[in-house]
Amino acid sequence: MSDLTKQEIVQSVPQRGFFGHPKGLFTLFFTEFWERFSYYGMKAILVYYMYYELSRGGLGMEESTALAIMSIYGSLVYMSGIIGGWLADRIFGASKSVFYGGILIMLGHIALAIPGSMALFFASMVLIVLGTGLLKPNVSTVVGEMYSEQDQRRDAGFSIFYMGINAGAFIAPLIVGTVGMDINFHLGFGIAAVGMFLGLIIFAYTRKGNLGLAGTNVPSPLSPAERKKVFVRIGIVAVLLAVIVAITVPLGLLTFNSVVVLVGILGILIPTVYFVVMYRSPRTTGVERSRLIAYIPLFIAAIMFWAIQEQGSTILANYADKRTQLDFAGIHISPSWFQSLNPLFIISLAPVFAWLWMKLGKRQPTIPKKFALGLLFAGCSFLVILLPAYWGGQDSLVNPLWLVLSYLIVVLGELCLSPVGLSATTKLAPSAFSAQTMSLWFLSSAAAQAINAQIVKFYTPATEMQYFGIIGGAAILLGIVLFLLSGKIQGYMKGIQ
Ligand code: GLU
Ligand code: ASP
pLDDT in tens, 103-146: 999 999 999 999 978 889 999 999 999 999 999 999 999 998 99
Of 29, 309, 313, 342, which is best to mutate to test ligand 2, by the most ligand atoms within 8 angstroms of its C-beta? 342
Average pLDDT over residues 218-247: 91
Ligand 2: does its nearest atom lie under 6 Å from the Cβ of 350?
A: no
Ligand 2: does its nearest atom lie under 6 Å from the Cβ of 37?
A: no
Asked whether the predicted pLDDT for residue 2 surpasses 70, the reply is: no
Of all ligands present, the nearest one to the C-alpha of 341 is 2
CA angle 80, 86, 89 (to 5 degrees): 140
Average pLDDT over residues 144-170: 92
Residues 144 and 271 in one domain: no
221, 238, 269 - which closes a domain: 221
| Per-residue model confidence (pLDDT) at position 276 | 95
Residues 92 and 48 in one domain: yes
What CATH number is associated with residue 422?
1.20.1250.20
> Mean pLDDT of all residues in the chain?
94
Residues 245 and 265 in one domain: no
Asked whether the predicted pLDDT for residue 482 surpasses 60, the reply is: yes
Residues 402 and 324 in one domain: yes
pLDDT tier at 176 (50, 70, 90 boundaries)? very high
Give the C-alpha separation, 186 to 57, whole Å. Answer: 9
Q: Left if phi > 0, otherwise alpha if psi is -120 to 50, otherwise beta: which for 20?
A: left
Residues 249 and 262 in one domain: no
| Per-residue model confidence (pLDDT) at position 259 | 87
| Per-residue model confidence (pLDDT) at position 249 | 83
Higher-pLDDT residue of 207, 220: 207
Q: What is the pLDDT of residues 262-280, one digit of tens each?
A: 999 999 999 999 999 999 9
Expressed as residue numbers, the domain containing 84 is 1-221
Residues 247 and 266 in one domain: no
Give the C-alpha separation, 295 to 275, whole Å. Answer: 10
Ligand 1: does its nearest atom lie under 6 Å from the Cβ of 342?
A: no
Ligand 2: does its nearest atom lie under 6 Å from the Cβ of 49?
A: no
Residues 395 and 440 in one domain: yes
Give the C-alpha separation, 340 to 262, whole Å. Answer: 31
Give the C-alpha separation, 370 to 372, whole Å. Answer: 5
Total domains, the chain: 3
Does residue 475 contact residue 93 with C-beta atoms inside 8 Å?
A: no
Average pLDDT over residues 40-60: 95
221, 236, 264 - which closes a domain: 221
Q: Find the largest Cα–Cα distance for the chain.
A: 68
Residues 152 and 125 in one domain: yes
Residues 365 and 413 in one domain: yes
Does residue 134 contact residue 104 with C-beta atoms inside 8 Å?
A: yes
| Per-residue model confidence (pLDDT) at position 468 | 97
Residues 245 and 170 in one domain: no
Give the C-alpha separation, 12 to 152, whole Å. Answer: 18
Ligand 2: does its nearest atom lie under 6 Å from the Cβ of 478?
A: no
Asked whether the predicted pLDDT for residue 419 surpasses 60, the reply is: yes
Q: What is the pLDDT of residues 278-320, one digit of tens each?
A: 999 999 999 999 999 999 999 999 999 999 999 999 999 999 9
Residues 272 and 169 in one domain: no
Q: What is the pLDDT of residues 444-476, one digit of tens each?
A: 999 999 999 999 999 988 899 999 999 999 999
Residues 261 and 216 in one domain: no
